A = this chain, B = another copy of it.
């Protein structure tokens, strides 16, 4: 056990801090906000490209893909420095973390060149087409079908919760290519440009506002997609899902740690009861960071232990929910106002800290629902960590 990282990791951190000090845009240049998770304002496109070119966008990548072949621990301190400053590497986070990452793992050379690099360089943005109505994110019951027809696939079906689709240039779409194969076999992945005929995107509002548009329904009616847009092998979509998407999930705890740390800054207790609650928040934040760093140490040794990450997700997401609810209550009638500032707006982060405690509390449910609900996490812990029998 050690409180600090080894010197080489700390040197890496110092180099990145220096880069940020020299290159981060001034706040006055960064006034335009993004309107969805696939909408990058011009200044942010430029800033993303600066990071790409310097090898700081995704340090774990090789230089030609915006990185510098950094180790896992180096990637971790990179992320910590970003979050400490409330910076997002990209305003199209799923483009970076899922779509480009999947292409770099499973795509052809042409796909990397034509799609991954433009996404990484913020020339285009991307969305993920996975969930379907009635099935949640349960890939096994996927119903959107793609049939081979000459050099194309013809896609029919419907996606939902497709974040940012209406602003995205391309959707990485999971489709069923073998309807007779059982459950998760027979699934493939296609890159579908959103301007393809037959693609209809309907963004819909959240409970916060009918104009708060990120979620989409995407209707796919006889959409012709060139076979060259197949990502990975035919009927091997499950592997793609478990690849970068699985990787994304192993890092999910980090986003909760960041939110908890943000909350320890943004919540100002003013009574004994609020201080009592604040202490719980501070302990949760610290515990999550500790448990996460333990998981990271395991991962750095190549020892993956996915079920144990469920405890981190559960702790993090539930704690964010509890803390934001407390903060909302503590703010009292002032928190009715909508939107209301709860923290200085961070122009460099895709989360909106200024949207009010009600909004921050409501958003906390994304944490306890998406990526496997808290109930599913508890089931995983009970069964796969503790070895209790299934019901």
Q: A residues touching B (Cβ–Cβ < 8 Å)?
A: 271-273, 276, 391
Q: How far is the CA of A391 from the CA of B390 in the complex (A)?
A: 13
Q: What's the minimum C-beta distance from A283 to chain B, rounded to whole angstroms?
A: 16
Taken together, the copies of this chain in the complex come to: 2
* A225-B273 Cα distance, complex, nearest whole Å: 62
| Contacting residues, chain B, for A391 (C-beta < 8 A) | 391
Residues on B with C-beta less than 8 A from A276 are: 273
Q: Complex formed: what's the CA distance from A273 to B272 in Å?
A: 7
Report the bound CA distance from A276 to B273 in whole Å: 8
The docked-state distance in angstroms from the alpha carbon of A114 to that of B214 is 80
- Chain B nearest CB from A379 CB (Å) reads 13
Closest to A273 in B: B276
| Residues from chain B with Cβ under 8 Å of A272 in the complex | 271-273
In the complex, A56 Cα to B272 Cα: how many Å?
49
Provide a sorted-by-A list of 6 A–B residue pairs whose CB atoms are within 8 angstroms.
A271-B272, A272-B272, A272-B273, A273-B273, A273-B276, A391-B391
The complex places the Cα of A147 from the Cα of B330 at a distance, in Å, of 68
Q: Closest CB-CB distance, A269 to chain B, in whole Å? A: 12
A162–B273 alpha-carbon span in the complex (Å): 45
Of A271, A273, A391, most B-chain CB atoms within 10 Å = A273
Please give me the residue from chain B that is nearest to A277 by CB atom: B273
Report how far A221 CA is from B280 CA in the complex, Å.
Answer: 57
How many angstroms from the CA of A272 to the CA of B270 in the assembled complex?
A: 12
- Nearest opposing residue in chain B for A276, CB measure: B273
Cα A276 to Cα B271 in complex, Å, equals: 12
CB distance from A277 to the nearest CB of B (A): 10
Q: How far is the CA of A276 from the CA of B275 in the complex (A)?
A: 13
> CA A271 – CA B272 in complex, angstroms?
9
Alpha-carbon separation in the docked complex, A391 to B272 (Å): 43
Residue of B nearest to A271 (CB): B272
CA distance A272 to B272 in the complex (A): 6
- Chain B residues within 8 Å of A271, by CB: 272
Q: How far, in angstroms, from A271 to B271 measured CA to CA in the complex?
A: 12
A322 to chain B, nearest CB (A): 16
Chain B residues whose CB sits within 8 angstroms of the CB of A273 once the complex forms: 272-273, 276
- The residue in chain B whose Cβ has the minimal distance to the Cβ of A391 is B391
Across the interface, name the chain B residue whose C-beta is closest to A274. Answer: B272
Shortest distance from the beta carbon of A163 to any chain B beta carbon, whole Å: 32
Q: How far is the CA of A252 from the CA of B272 in the complex (A)?
A: 37
- Closest chain-B Cβ to A389's Cβ sits at a distance in Å of 15
A391 to B271, CA, bound (A): 44
